[in-house]
Each structure stands twice: as C-alpha cells, then as structure tokens.
Amino acid sequence: MHIIDTLKSDYQKFPNDQTYSIYAADVYFQDPFNKFTGIERYQKMIQFIKTWFLHCHMDLHSINQSDDTIKTEWTLSWNTPLPWKPKVSISGWSELRVNEANLIVSHIDYWQTSPWNLAKQHLFFEKPSIM
C-alpha cells in the first residue's frame, strides 16, 4: 500500500489501529504542546488521545505529496471527559517528511486554533438541545 493510501486510512480511523510501521524509529514529532523524538513516544501520545478523548474523530480535508514532503489538512474533534463533556475541535495541517525508505521521519502539526481558543472550548457549557 502506498504511504498516501495508508495515511488516508489512518486519518479515517484515528486514533484507532494506526499504522506505526510507516514511521521511522527516531521520528520527530511537534505540535503546539509537544515536541519529542521516537516512535514509542509517538505511540504513547496516540494512546493518551485514545484513552482521554471521547468520540474522537479526524476529518481529512486534503493530502498532497511533493518530493519528500506530505502535507495534510484536517480537523480533529472530540468530547473532553469533563462532567459537561464539551465538544472541542482543532483545525490545522501537518507537514510530514519521508526518507529514502519512504518512512516518515518528521511529523509537525500546525494549528489554526490557538491554545487559548482550545482552552475556551473547554470552559463554556453547551446549551442542551430542545426536542
């Protein structure tokens, strides 16, 4: 399976059943809250999301490859396990770099949602819908 097809499949079922074999052992990851190296740490981060993000869903808007760079645009949404279970979402894009073996060696996420906006999404109670 081509790496683009694998990524499309992984985004569709995120955070479940991710294909870690497409990542180099020393993959570098960065987002506004994390910065680390290593596939084991990457797996732990995905496990954290799987454990603490309720109804987690990733919408993949686009995916393109140019030479050694793959760019994805996405929206990640979930409910946080607070008593009022706020619905939270982050829109952004990822820049993935692949090596000669076609393994991802760098995965950097950029958010269009500020950390402050993310925090605010947790603070406000959503009004119940009237049936």
In the chain, the domains with their CATH numbers are 3-123 (3.10.450.50)
Spatial distance between the Cα atoms of 22 and 96, rounded to a whole number of angstroms: 11
User: Can you tell me the distance from the alpha carbon of 32 to that of 45, in angstroms, rounded to the nearest whole number?
Assistant: 14
Scanning 2-126, the segments in alpha helix (DSSP H) are 3-13, 39-52, 115-123
Task: Indicate left, alpha or beta for 7 from its phi (over 0: left) and psi (-120 to 50: alpha).
Answer: alpha
pTM of the model: 0.87
**Pick the residue with more confidence: 121 or 42?**
42
Residue 108 neighbours by CB under 8 Å, 6+ apart:
28, 29, 30, 31, 94, 95, 96
Residue 131 pLDDT exceeds 50: no
Instruction: Tell me the pLDDT band of 128, cut-offs 50, 70 and 90.
Output: very low
pLDDT of 116: 80
125 has pLDDT over 80 = no
Q: Residue 113 has what pLDDT?
A: 85
**The pLDDT value given to residue 124:** 65
Q: What average pLDDT does the structure give for the chain?
A: 92
pLDDT at 1: 62
What is the chain's Cα-based Rg?
Answer: 16
Task: Please name the helix (run of DSSP H) or strand (run of DSSP E) that holds residue 88, with its range, or none.
Answer: strand 87-98
Among residues of the chain, what percentage have pLDDT more than 70?
Answer: 93
Whether residue 38 is predicted with pLDDT greater than 80 in this model: the reply is yes
pLDDT digits (tens, 9 = 90+) for 91-122: 999 999 999 999 999 999 999 988 788 888 88
Q: What is the mean pLDDT of residues 35-61?
A: 96
